Chain A
Amino acid sequence: MTADTDRRGRSRILLLLHSHLPYVPASRQGLTLEETWLYQNLTECYLPLAMMLRELSASTTPFGVTVSLSPTLLSMTQNPGHIRGYRRYLDMLFRLLSAKTVMRDSDAAGARAHLERRVTEIRRRFDEIGGHIVDEWRSLARDPRITFITTCATHAILPAYRFSTSLVRLQVETGLRYFESALGFRPDGFWLPEMAYYEGLDSVLRKCGIRYTFLDTGGLYGAGLPPAHGCFQPYVTESELLLFPRDAELSGAIWSAREGYPGDFRYREFHYDYTWSLTESELAAENIGRMPAGLKLYRITGGDTPKQFYDPREAANAVTSHARDFIRRVSMRAASISEIAGITPLFTLPFDAELFGHWWYEGPEFLQSVIEAAAHSNIECVTPNFFTAEGTYSRLLPTESSWGRNGAFETWLNPECEPIYHRIADLYTRLIRTPSSGPMAKAQQCAFRELLLAQSSDWPFFIAWKTSADYGRLRLREHLDAAETILRGMEAGTINNAYLLERERRYPLFVGTPGKPPCESD
């Protein structure tokens, strides 16, 4: 490589891993399917990523990674009920690995042994940190190469609530306060749920003390003037909010199911869970219904051939070649951009963290390979702090946008989900008129919590994509009805304390966090 090509291919990567799951209550015994979303992600994603960051942190490798932690996820990982549930899940997984059907299947031996080793390693780490992954995140946050940020209290899609600035601020402030109580500091950055931005949101975020956020590509083009550097540099809004626009092309190389790396036939199959092969009596012995429990022993395989068992060595080879290919793509893209715009491009690559490890089992290894390879190339992995400290940026009036289908909130704001927003608006406008002190204070806080929980963007997502749609509808109805019940009691001057306690026991988050929301004019 000549000096000239070296300069042309120089670039920066801002890798952001947004970690979020909706709050799902912990069961006292047994396991619900929804609980296993958390437990599988702890096993496959959150703990492996934390272990990867720990290893990088212990090294002298120059790198930068930004991690967003949603308040609902933080809350579940701190809740003793979920910590106990996770231990039950791991025990169950080990027992399933020893089930007769699995043991008898000699072809599965290699994949089974691999999974057993992996889960053993994860459980050891979980025990080492005392079952508190939040402590591990707090510890990692001391490394300036790792930046932690947060998001809305319950991952609300904010453009839907623009009719009330105070409702938007309630989501943002509650999220920030909850993160601060868990991690011990207030973050500078903020992840917008579903990257959903509306004009004017920048000033609301700035009033909450937020210095930067992330924007989807569609938000760049709409203010009458084209962005000076495409999506390859940060911008600053009128309210002095720093914006990092997403590079959809490089992101797509990683997340796209069709063209992205995770679809390679050598990687572990996500959908086909070996639990389906277990007998009813084997499942009954574990007190679980027929559900995907995380016993994944197949590889993607591809084509119409029967599924083959997972081969970790082949998967490792795929990781190596894909990481190498990704570095090559970054360099080539950087060369094209620097030729056009004469800048060292920044590629902002935000992902749902769950892609790495949960959906794409080998994802954490891929990330580590990319980070380590970047350290030996002309690619610099940075965090937003690199830019907030650096100086002046082009102005941008970003327009309304989100990630997802067509980039304009369609997944979350669709005809089927319309009644949600009507009902939330109704409840909220009644709720803010109730007294926030005296005997009603506790009830008001509970009603706000129910309202916040109803605002999760996960429920309309489930409904729109018809994945767990019934659960999405169930949760929406549960929280909206609970808020209505509490509110009617307040309006009638009769508080059912037993009901409030029961709701708080089932959803023990934000207790004491959301008070009366700020005034509209604040």
Chain B
Amino acid sequence: MAGADNSYFFVNFVGGHLLHAGWKFDSAQVETLMRTALRDPFGEPLLFLEVCETAPEGELHIETLPVHGRETQWHVFADERYAGKKIIFKLVCSRRDGALSPLAVSAPVRLPEADEQIAAMLQSEKDRRLYELTGAALRRGGPSGSRLSS
């Protein structure tokens, strides 16, 4: 998104368990947003983060999260549902006619696989033994429910 205007939208996998999205609108976008978007009781536009998986068969919706006010960043816990998936975030606003209107799309981020996904990948005895020899299992830190404390 960067380059054409004064705005940006990034997503980073942070601390091994969070997806951190950050964005900024330029003044023209803010003007359009304030003109077209539904507003909350405080007059702020109603924004949402749509989280999607980019799979070979197309985009698969994972969840939509409300983003209140004029926040410029949001965190999403990357739990087991995200493991091994290639994720994109879409920043959308709720228009006055009720439809969701896209504002920005992030670059994709692929999250580490869960152990069972790796196990499923290793079909042959040769692959399993090579995997053990690489020591990759000892170095992996993928998303998992047990690592989420809040």
Which A residues fall within an 8 A CB radius of B?
159-164, 166-167, 198-200, 216-218, 220-222, 224-227, 229-232, 245, 247-249, 252, 333, 336-337, 340-341, 399-400, 405-410, 413-415, 418, 421-422, 425-426, 428-430, 432-433, 519-520
- Contact indicator A217/B139 (Cβ below 8 Å): yes
Interface centre among B6, B18, B110 (most CB of A within 10 A): B110
The answer, among A198, A199, A231, A428, for a CB contact under 8 Å with B2, is: A428
A248-B6 contact, Cβ under 8 Å, with A224-B121, A226-B122 = no
Residues of B within 8 A of A399 (CB): 110, 112-113
Known A418-B12, A429-B3, A520-B3; 10 more pairs at CB < 8 Å: A160-B10, A199-B108, A226-B130, A340-B129, A405-B141, A407-B140, A425-B24, A426-B24, A429-B2, A432-B2
Residues of B within 8 A of A249 (CB): 133-135
Which B residues fall within an 8 A CB radius of A?
1-16, 18, 20, 22, 24, 72-73, 84, 86, 106-113, 118, 121-123, 126-127, 129-131, 133-136, 138-142
* Bound complex: CA A229 to CA B134 (Å): 10
* Bound complex: CA A166 to CA B8 (Å): 13
- Contact indicator B14/A163 (Cβ below 8 Å): no
The answer, among B2, B9, B136, for a CB contact under 8 Å with A166, is: B2
- Contact indicator A407/B141 (Cβ below 8 Å): yes
- Contact indicator B20/A520 (Cβ below 8 Å): no
* Bound complex: CA A199 to CA B85 (Å): 12
The minimal Cβ–Cβ distance linking B137 to chain A, given in whole angstroms, is 9
The minimal Cβ–Cβ distance linking A411 to chain B, given in whole angstroms, is 10
A218-B140 contact, Cβ under 8 Å, with A167-B2, A340-B130 = yes
The minimal Cβ–Cβ distance linking A193 to chain B, given in whole angstroms, is 15
* Bound complex: CA A221 to CA B113 (Å): 8
A408-B16 contact, Cβ under 8 Å, with A163-B2, A433-B6 = yes
- Contact indicator B136/A221 (Cβ below 8 Å): yes
Closest chain B residue to A423 by CB distance?
A: B22
* Bound complex: CA A221 to CA B127 (Å): 11
* Bound complex: CA A220 to CA B136 (Å): 9
A429-B7 contact, Cβ under 8 Å, with A220-B136, A422-B72 = yes
Residues of B within 8 A of A218 (CB): 112, 136, 139-140
- Contact indicator A414/B15 (Cβ below 8 Å): yes
- Contact indicator A413/B24 (Cβ below 8 Å): no
The answer, among B14, B106, B127, for a CB contact under 8 Å with A413, is: B14
The minimal Cβ–Cβ distance linking A335 to chain B, given in whole angstroms, is 12
- Contact indicator A231/B12 (Cβ below 8 Å): no
Closest chain A residue to B11 by CB distance?
A: A163
The answer, among A167, A220, A336, A410, for a CB contact under 8 Å with B16, is: A410
- Contact indicator A199/B8 (Cβ below 8 Å): no
- Contact indicator A229/B2 (Cβ below 8 Å): no
- Contact indicator B134/A230 (Cβ below 8 Å): yes
- Contact indicator B126/A341 (Cβ below 8 Å): yes
A421-B10 contact, Cβ under 8 Å, with A229-B130, A230-B130, A406-B16 = yes
- Contact indicator A410/B122 (Cβ below 8 Å): no
- Contact indicator B13/A409 (Cβ below 8 Å): yes
- Contact indicator B121/A198 (Cβ below 8 Å): no
The minimal Cβ–Cβ distance linking A475 to chain B, given in whole angstroms, is 21
- Contact indicator A337/B22 (Cβ below 8 Å): no
The minimal Cβ–Cβ distance linking B124 to chain A, given in whole angstroms, is 8
A164-B8 contact, Cβ under 8 Å, with A222-B110, A222-B113, A422-B72 = yes
The minimal Cβ–Cβ distance linking B65 to chain A, given in whole angstroms, is 18
Residues of B within 8 A of A333 (CB): 133
- Contact indicator B20/A217 (Cβ below 8 Å): no
* Bound complex: CA A161 to CA B22 (Å): 12
Top 8 A-B residue pairs of the complex, sorted by shortest distance between their CB atoms: A406-B141, A230-B130, A163-B10, A520-B3, A164-B2, A226-B127, A217-B136, A162-B107
Residues of A within 8 A of B141 (CB): 405-408, 410
Closest chain B residue to A425 by CB distance?
A: B8
Residues of A within 8 A of B13 (CB): 159, 400, 408-409, 413
Residues of A within 8 A of B106 (CB): 163
Residues of A within 8 A of B121 (CB): 221, 224-226
Closest chain B residue to A157 by CB distance?
A: B12
- Contact indicator A406/B113 (Cβ below 8 Å): no
* Bound complex: CA A166 to CA B4 (Å): 12
- Contact indicator B126/A340 (Cβ below 8 Å): yes
- Contact indicator B14/A217 (Cβ below 8 Å): no
The minimal Cβ–Cβ distance linking B118 to chain A, given in whole angstroms, is 6
Task: List 27 interface pairs A-B (beta carbons < 8 Å), by A numbering.
Answer: A162-B10, A162-B107, A162-B109, A164-B8, A198-B109, A199-B86, A200-B107, A216-B139, A220-B136, A221-B118, A221-B121, A222-B113, A224-B121, A226-B123, A226-B131, A232-B133, A245-B134, A248-B138, A249-B133, A407-B141, A413-B15, A415-B15, A421-B10, A421-B20, A425-B22, A429-B7, A520-B2
The answer, among A200, A220, A225, A430, for a CB contact under 8 Å with B6, is: A430
Closest chain B residue to A342 by CB distance?
A: B126
Interface centre among A222, A249, A340, A415 (most CB of B within 10 A): A222
